[in-house]
A = this chain, B = another copy of it.
Amino acid sequence: MIGLRFLVLSGIGLFFCLVSMAMAFDILQPLPETPPVPDDNPITAEKIALGKQLFFDPRLSVTMSVSCNTCHNLMAGGQDMRPLSTGANGKKGRRNAPTLWNVAFQTVLYWDGRARSLEEQAHSHLLDPYAMGMPDEKSLVARLATIPGYVRQFEQIFRGERPVSLENIAKSLASYERTLLTPNSPFDRYIRGDHSALSAQAVRGMELFNETGCLACHFGVNFAGPAPGPSLKMGDGFYELFPNHLGSVYDKRYRLADDLGRYEVSKDPGEKRMWRVALLRNIALTAPYFHNGSVATLDEAVRVMAKTQLKKTLRDEDQRAIVAFLHSLTGEFPDQIMPRIPIASYDINSP
Report A69-101 CB contacts with B as 1/0, cut-off 8 Å: 010011111001111001000100000000000
A288 located at the interface, meaning its Cβ lies under 8 Å from any Cβ of chain B in the complex: yes
Q: How far is the CA of A296 from the CA of B345 in the complex (A)?
A: 6
CB distance from A283 to the nearest CB of B (A): 11
Residues of chain B with a CB closer than 8 A to A346's CB: 81-83, 287-288, 293, 296-297
CB distance from A307 to the nearest CB of B (A): 18
- CB-contact partner of A56 in B75, B285, B293, B345, under 8 A: B75
Report A314-351 CB contacts with B as 1/0, cut-off 8 Å: 00000000000000000001011111110111111010
Residues of chain B with a CB closer than 8 A to A175's CB: none
Instruction: State the oligomeric state as a number of copies.
Output: 2
Nearest CB to that of A343 among chain B residues? B285
Nearest CB to that of A296 among chain B residues? B348
Q: How far is the CA of A340 from the CA of B83 in the complex (A)?
A: 20
CB of B333 within 8 A of CB of A335, answer no
Residues of chain B with a CB closer than 8 A to A90's CB: 90
CB distance from A52 to the nearest CB of B (A): 10
Knowing A337-B337, A340-B75 are in contact, say whether A345-B297 is a contact too (CB < 8 A). Answer: yes
Knowing A86-B65, A296-B348 are in contact, say whether A336-B333 is a contact too (CB < 8 A). Answer: no
CB of B336 within 8 A of CB of A338, answer yes
A280-305 residues at the B interface, CB under 8 angstroms: 284-288, 293-298
Residues of chain B with a CB closer than 8 A to A74's CB: 338
Q: How far is the CA of A287 from the CA of B147 in the complex (A)?
A: 12
A58 located at the interface, meaning its Cβ lies under 8 Å from any Cβ of chain B in the complex: yes
Report A54-76 CB contacts with B as 1/0, cut-off 8 Å: 00101100011100001001111
CB of B287 within 8 A of CB of A77, answer no
CB of A75 within 8 A of CB of B298, answer no
Residues of chain B with a CB closer than 8 A to A343's CB: 76-77, 81, 284-287
A76-131 residues at the B interface, CB under 8 angstroms: 76-77, 80-83, 86, 90
CB distance from A254 to the nearest CB of B (A): 10
Residues of chain B with a CB closer than 8 A to A73's CB: 58, 341
Q: How far is the CA of A91 from the CA of B22 in the complex (A)?
A: 55
Cβ contacts A to B, 15 pairs, < 8 Å: A64-B82, A65-B86, A73-B341, A74-B338, A75-B341, A81-B343, A81-B346, A83-B346, A83-B348, A287-B346, A293-B346, A295-B348, A296-B347, A333-B340, A336-B338
